[in-house]
Amino acid sequence: MTFLFQGLTMGLAYVAPIGLQNLFVINSALGQPKHRALLTAFIVIFFDIALSLSCFFGIGALMQRYAWLQAVILLVGSLIVLFIGFGLLRTHPTTQAPQAVVTALGKTIVTAFVVTWCNPQAIIDGTMLLGAFHVSMPASSATPFITGVALASVIWFAGITLLISRFKTVFNAKLLRGINLVCGGIIILYGAKLLWTFIQLVH
């Protein structure tokens, strides 16, 4: 139980900071019906848990062994992050009925995959953080620990989706536009930082 709780608390600290996944889930909760926003959240949870498992059990070893792989992840990831950021700047949300803005399921799945698996910072941070925990604990403790991490993902993403869906009526089109502008600007800076890291790596 100790390692399960440790994984839960560490997992919450890992997913709570505002990043691409959180922004995607928040925007979904603001713009879509609650049942569809929850579906989006659970799709993100699926990819997030898959990434956590990969980081915990070995993707870090590949990145440490092949420097070119880290460079590729940084380059491709930074360009994708910049694309998402500029896309948010161009978006003009409305307060129309949720049924009119439901996103196609295929697009939701692709976007959820992109904000999780094409986010180099999440991969690098997850590798360093979860990989370090894996190395530092007894083998018998690995399963309860990573279970706690997975549980944290479920609690966090489902929780913020339900919370925002409950209170989204206080948001109007102007406020939504402001949120997108702020989030888009942050994401663009984030993408630029990743691109600069790539440039430093190759030089």
CA distances from 24 to 5, 82, 111 (A): 27, 14, 8
174-202 pLDDT, tens digit per residue, is 776 776 787 678 778 877 877 887 888 78
Residue pair 193/80 in contact (Cβ under 8 Å)? The answer is no
Closest CA to 176 of 7, 12, 32: 32
- Whole-Å CA distances, 174 to 63, 66, 92, 121, 167: 43, 46, 9, 31, 16
State pLDDT tens for residues 74-99: 787 678 778 877 877 887 655 444 44
- Residue 34 reports pLDDT greater than 80: yes
The domain segmentation of the chain, as residue ranges, is: 2-66+94-171
Highest-scoring range by mean pLDDT, 35-49, 67-81, 127-141: 35-49
Residue among 74, 49, 202 at smallest CA distance from 126: 49
The pLDDT value given to residue 171: 65
- The predicted model scores a pTM of 0.71
Give pLDDT tens digits for 48-59: 999 999 888 876
